[in-house]
Amino acid sequence: MSKTLFEKIAAREIPAAIVYEDDLVLAFRDITPQAPTHVLIVPKKPVPRLAEAQPEDQALLGHLLLKAAVVAKTLGVDKTGYRLVINNGPDGGESVPHLHVHILGGRKLAWPPG
């Protein structure tokens, strides 16, 4: 089975502007940012999408969200606000079949998103 784009980034096979890493997750700048701050945080374990996460992924999912807050603070968007986005499936905007959280901030974000 071939690696996803995010697995290749985590394995350092594809370069990325990494802003955070620990044993379970990796955060890096999006190459097509939709806001002044746009970072993706991905679990190193390849979970295709949130709908396919298993009960044994519960701790990983919690870690992913908690670290997203840490990364947002590191990026300086914690005081003014930021948005976390998880796309699930093609109609949800998913383009890479590897669970990831978008951290968007640095400007006022409209609602609904579109």
How does DSSP classify residue 33?
Answer: -
Q: Out of 38, 63, 98, 100, pick the active-site residue.
A: 100
Cα–Cα distances (Å) from 84 to 2, 30, 77, 109, in that order, read 28, 14, 12, 11
Backbone φ and ψ for 67, nearest 5 degrees, come out as -70, -30
Is residue 100 among the annotated active site residues?
Answer: yes
Helix (H, G, I), strand (E, B) or coil at 26: strand
Count CB-CB contacts under 10 A for residue 10: 23
**What residues are labeled active site?**
100
